[in-house]
Amino acid sequence: MGYYLCDDIYPEWLYFVKSPPMATNPKEARFKKMQESTRKDIEHAFGVLQTRWGVIRSPARGWYVEHLKDIMMCCIILHNMIVENEGKRAAHWRDDDAGHGASSSDSTESARATLVCFEEYVQKDAILRDRQIHAQLQHDLIEHVWARFRPLGSE
């Protein structure tokens, strides 16, 4: 399951990983620094993709993860091809229709085709909102980051 790096305004749900509000030890401080840096990089990159590709601006919670991965990968590849082909001109691209997605009938049909059944949705939603699972994920990520990126000479 994926998760989102986010700041303190989001609830403590499984798929929202926040840095600890106040780092109480070197492990948490390292995690907080890396999480906030990575989150800023991702927000910038995603903003660029949202500007260029309207499908990314649309809600996607009911879509299959496999479809979302394919859509994102396609948008990233197309973006990279455009940047490679156009060079610096691609950085100044402007969408005159920003905020105006595809026709509502097209997006509605596409969303219906990829929706998961309601019961499965409700079950997954309950798991995603479990605060204990959220706390365990956050702890596990802090330990993982510390194990991989701890400063030299620290234990």
Asked if residue 27 belongs to a domain, the reply is: yes
pLDDT of residue 107: 55
Asked if residue 155 belongs to a domain, the reply is: no
Average of per-residue pLDDT across 32-49:
86
Read out DSSP for 9-77? TS-S-TTEEE--SS--SHHHHHHHHHHHHHHHHHHHHHHHHHHH-HHHHS--TTS-HHHHHHHHHHHHH
Residue pLDDT, tens place only, 109-146: 555 545 556 777 777 778 878 888 888 888 998 999 99
**With a threshold of 0.85, does the pTM exceed it?**
no
Q: Which domain, by its residues, includes 53? A: 4-149
Asked if residue 154 belongs to a domain, the reply is: no
